[in-house]
A = this chain, B = another copy of it.
């Protein structure tokens, strides 16, 4: 049908293969720990930047390390000399050819950081700029809109932090439960197709998530922007409430991400508030979750531990980008005017 759909279907297998060999992640974690790193910075652009947000939550919440997203232009545009002592700097790029990210990583390495490259091309510029490479092994991605490389980046980050924490349970879940839940999430396709039909003439969409699935909200909105040219706006639930919720008028479509975990209750509360404002709410939740008054619920058949849930919870969003694009008569494989590698300085 489309290359994008083929690549969405490949994802569970890619993650299973990546997680089946934890040794590269253990070796990287041992070296990173030995470096004395206690601050974490991620450098990335586009889809990879959304994976970086997930990595920031893993580092902060699971490993208890202060973590943030880097300012790549500090190195390339402003020539800043940054004190990188005790830093772990992780560059993420599918192609490994995003110049400002590679340049930032090289400067961080030269200034004392321990550096990791998360990339789908172990021979790329980014890979050569880092102490160690975490290869995502997703195979060649032919669709312009990244799907399988995004989830493989999430998997690489989860595998790395599981190794850092010596958390065998997390590593085992990544190798077993996660691919199973990702495979099962493909069963949401019919429900997603129905949502796409309802949204076929929408010109705007809010996507709300929180905690680990804030990254899922960012990535879902980005995918819909790229393939459907829709004004899809991602928000953390907390920030949405802080002002932009004023936009929501009757019939405003909002996608609410509410997989199981510490943030679910708050997300369902937000859904009720949006419903009271007359919004059309589309909720992604685990099968067992009771959702009242939603316009539609997309049920994830297999719940995951919250820290790993973004690997499956993004799949309905990817499928929505695909089917909404087709519904609107567009070609999801070839967004207008985009190429696969973006060179930003």
- A interface vs B, CB < 8 Å? 38-39, 41, 45-47, 49, 56-57, 60-62, 64-74, 77-78, 80-87, 100, 145, 203-204, 210-211, 222, 225-227, 229-231, 233, 238-239, 241-249, 262-263, 266, 277, 335-338, 342, 344-345
Chain B nearest CB, measured from A336 CB (Å): 5
How far apart sit A266 and B211, CA to CA, in the bound complex (Å)? 34
A78 proximity list for chain B (CB < 8 A): 61, 211, 262
Cα(A100)–Cα(B263), bound, Å: 14
Residue contacts A-B, CB under 8 angstroms, 10 given: A39-B87, A41-B68, A64-B81, A77-B211, A203-B204, A204-B231, A222-B244, A238-B344, A246-B338, A249-B336
Q: How far is the CA of A28 from the CA of B160 in the complex (A)?
A: 38
**B80 touching A61, Cβ below 8 Å:** yes
Please give the count of copies of this chain that the complex contains: 2
Bound CA span A239–B71, Å: 12
A36, chain B: closest CB distance, angstroms: 12
| Complex CA distance for A336 and B278, rounded to whole angstroms | 13
Separation of A170 and B219 alpha carbons in the complex (Å)? 39
* CB neighbours of A336 from chain B (8 A): 246, 249
Chain B residues with CB under 8 A of A67: 68, 71
* A84 engages B66 (CB within 8 Å): yes
- Known interface pairs A46-B242, A222-B244; A39-B60 also in contact (CB < 8 Å): no
B338 touches A245 (CB 8 A): yes
- On chain B, the residues within 8 Å of A46 by CB distance are 239, 242-243
Interfacial chain B residues near A242, Cβ < 8 Å: 45-47, 342, 344
Beyond A242-B46, A247-B229, A277-B337, whether A66 also contacts B68 by CB under 8 A is yes
- Cβ contact within 8 Å between B81 and A66: no
In contact, B45 and A66 (Cβ under 8 angstroms): no
Q: Tell me the smallest distance from the CB of A1 to a CB of chain B, in Å.
A: 20
Beyond A61-B78, A225-B247, 11 additional pairs, beta carbon < 8 A: A46-B242, A57-B71, A60-B70, A62-B80, A68-B69, A204-B204, A225-B233, A229-B249, A238-B344, A266-B345, A277-B337
B39 touches A337 (CB 8 A): no
